[in-house]
Amino acid sequence: MEQFPTQQGPIGLFDSGYGGLTILEKMRSLMPQYDYLYLGDNARAPYGTRSFDVVYEFTRQSVKKLFDMGCPLVILACNTASAKALRSIQTKDLPLWNPDMRVLGVIRPTVEQIGNLTKTRHVGILGTEGTIQSKSYPIEISKLYPDIIVSGKACPLFVPLVENTEYDSDGADYFVKKYLDELLDKDSRIDTIILGCTHYPLLLPKIKKYVPEGTKIVAQGEIVAQSLQDYLDRHTDMESLITKGNNCEFFTTESVEKFRKSASVFLKEKTIHATRISLE
């Protein structure tokens, strides 16, 4: 059985592809002192249409890899992985690997903020098919805010549009309008829409075009970064394990060149050096 020592190291961030970079960017600007290690499973993205078992297995492999590379704490910077794999990893795998290590997701911190944002108490969620089918958002929201009515809309073409850098195209306009119309047809009283996929912030300018004025659009980056900072303030044992050298390293399961090009769009940084790794 695999076990990992309690170790000092960077914060690990995992996403199926590039979406988690929208979370990484906000974490680095709020907490620049820490070291970070980003892993994108680009060779097997997107995860959004994959089954529970497959998303769990792929995510588990990625988390193990990040622990292997020295991270004491891993953030699943992916809603699909948070919805379909986080709980099993926390309850089944972590106790065996090392109960002092931590894996955190992005859904809970996002949900915690929702009660303060919606006035009508009608909320919409945009996400991958996997996230919407899992019902993780309505389930978590009902635990904290039972009065809120939640409608979800799967947007299967958003991730391919973003991964192929087509988020600014006319094709993107067509699908953004279509999905938003379908969401608002379900419930016209929605005043707050959660971007429940870490890829979607790149579509934000288009999303704003097709919602009624005054609708709040909630992107997760700042929320998740703030929630991690609060977590580390409260958990000083974990905080002391995070190395503080202001470094960030990138790993991908696909071509390094492709990662460098696409990641620079997400991070607006020109020089991104990535290393290719294999997870199987």
Residues marked as catalytic: 78, 197
Distance of closest approach, residue 127 Cβ to ligand DGL, in angstroms: 6
Residues in the chain: 280
Near ligand DGL in 217-276, by CB under 6 A:
none
Antiparallel, parallel or unpaired: β 36-40 and 216-218: unpaired
Build a one-symbol-per-residue string for 133-162: x at contacts with ligand DGL by CB under 6 A, - elsewhere. Answer: --------------------------x---
Binds ligand DGL by CB under 6 A, chosen from 62, 79, 243, 253: 79
The smaller minimum CB distance to ligand DGL, of residues 58 and 97, is found at 58
SS percent in the chain: helix, strand, coil, step 5: 50, 15, 35
Cα–Cα dist 260/239, whole Å: 30
Tell me, by CB under 6 A, how many residues bind ligand DGL. 17
Q: Does 46 bind ligand DGL (CB under 6 A)?
A: yes
Radius of gyration of the chain (CA): 18
**C-alpha–C-alpha distance, residues 199 and 202, integer Å:** 6
Q: How far apart are CA 239 and CA 236, in angstroms?
A: 5
Q: Could you say which DSSP state residue 92 is in? A: I
Q: What is the identity of the amino acid at 99?
A: P
Shorter beta-carbon distance to ligand DGL: residue 69 or 157:
157
Residues numbered 175 to 204 that lie near ligand DGL (CB under 6 A) are: 197-199
- One character per residue 1-30, x = contact with ligand DGL (rule: CB under 6 A): --------------xxx-x-----------
Q: Is 59 in the site for ligand DGL (CB under 6 A)?
A: no
> Contact at 8 Å (CB) between 79 and 16?
no
Asked if residue 103 lies in contact with residue 77, where contact means CB atoms within 8 angstroms, the answer is: no
Closest separation in Å from C-beta 83 to ligand DGL: 8
Tell me which residues touch ligand DGL (CB under 6 A). Answer: 15-17, 19, 45-48, 78-80, 128, 131, 159, 197-199
